[in-house]
Structure formats: C-alpha cells, structure tokens
Amino acid sequence: MVKRVLYALVVILLCYIGLVTVAEFPPYGEEGNPVHNYVSERYIGEAVEDTGVINMVTAIVLDYRAYDTLIETTVLFTATIAVLITLKTGKKNGKEEEVS
C-alpha cells in the first residue's frame, strides 16, 4: 500500500513537471511555431520537384530520410531474428539438432 502511494506520488510529480513544461510550449496549431521553418517549407514546396511523388510523407520516408527507413527495416529484421533465437531453441521433442 505504501508502495502504491509512492508510485502515485512519482507519477503526479512527473505530471506536474510535464504540465509546467507544456505551458511553455509553442501554442498548438499555429503557423509561427519553430517547427514550421525552412525545413518543412522545403518538404512542402519542393517534394514533387525533388522526388517525383505527391505524397510528402512518402517522399520524406523513402527519399529525404531513406537511410532512417533502411535502419527501421533493420529494426524489424533484428526483432525477427531475436524472436527466432529466443523461441526456436532446437530442443523440440527432446531431440537436439546435430551440429558442426
């Protein structure tokens, strides 16, 4: 019980810190925010010219930041190999696979 109260206190503290920070955030949904700068302008204005696709999100994912997406595919690949090495232990039916 004491533990639960402690956890709740931690969470409330986290919420408080978060809310104080949120109050300082640039206002939601406005054009003048720092996020909407030269970077996004180029994506919006010249994606068709640069990459030849009309979906800007695809243009970013597969062209401007294609390297990230390669690594993202690698994350998925890593997870698959991780699942396989965890689950397929070669001990099925008490028999062990022959090695070397």
Partner 1 sequence: MKDYILKRVVILLLPLMQVFGLYVIFHGHLSPGGGFAGGMIVGLGLVCYAAVYGMEKGTDKVPDRAATLIESFGTLWYGAVGLVGVFKGTLFLSNKATGVPMGQPAALLSGGWILVITLGVGIKVASTIVTLFYALTEEEES
Partner 2 sequence: MIQENLPVLLVVTLLFTAYLLPIFTKRRPRIIELLVVTVECLILGGTLYLAGLIARQGRAPIIYPAGGWPAPWGIELSVGSLSILFLLMIAGVGLPVAIFATDGITWQLRSRQRVAWFFTLYLLLAAALAGLAVTNDLFNVYVFVEVATISCCALVAAKDDPLAIKAAFRYLLLATVGSGFIFAGIGLIYLVTGNLDMTFAFTELSQRAYTYPHVVRLAISFFVIGFGTKAALFPLHLWLPDAHSAALTPASAILSGLAVKGYIIALAKILYIIVGPALLQALSIDRILLLMGMVAIVAGSLLALAQDELKRRLAYSTVAQVGYIFLGLGLMNTTGLAGALFYAASHAIIKACLFLAAGAIISRTGKERVSQMAGVGREMPITMGIFTICSFALMGLPLLSGFIGKWNLLRGSIQAGSFLASLVIILGSLLCAGYLLPVIRTAYFVPAGTTTTKETSFLQISSMLILTVFVIVLGIAPGPLWNLAWQAARDLLGG
Partner 3 sequence: MKVSLLSRLLANYPYVAAFILFAIGIYGVIASSNLLRKLLGISIMESAIFLMFIASGNITGRGVPIVDAAKESVGYVNPLPQALILTGIVVGVSTTAFALALLVKLHKYYGTLDARIIYDKREADKH
Name the residues that contact partner 3, by CB under 8 A. Answer: 3-4, 7-8, 10-12, 14-15, 18-19, 21-23, 25, 27-31, 33, 35-36, 39-40, 43-44, 47-48, 54-57, 59-61, 65, 68-69, 72, 75-76, 78-80, 82-83, 86-87
Q: Report the distance separating Cα 86 and Cα 94, nearest Å.
A: 17
Partner that binds at residue 92, options partner 1, partner 3, partner 2, none, CB closer than 5 to 8 Å by kind: partner 1
Q: Report the distance separating Cα 52 and Cα 77, nearest Å.
A: 29
Q: In this structure, what DSSP letter does residue 92 have? A: G
Q: Report the distance separating Cα 73 and Cα 61, nearest Å.
A: 12
* 53 sits near partner 1 (criterion: CB under 8 A): yes
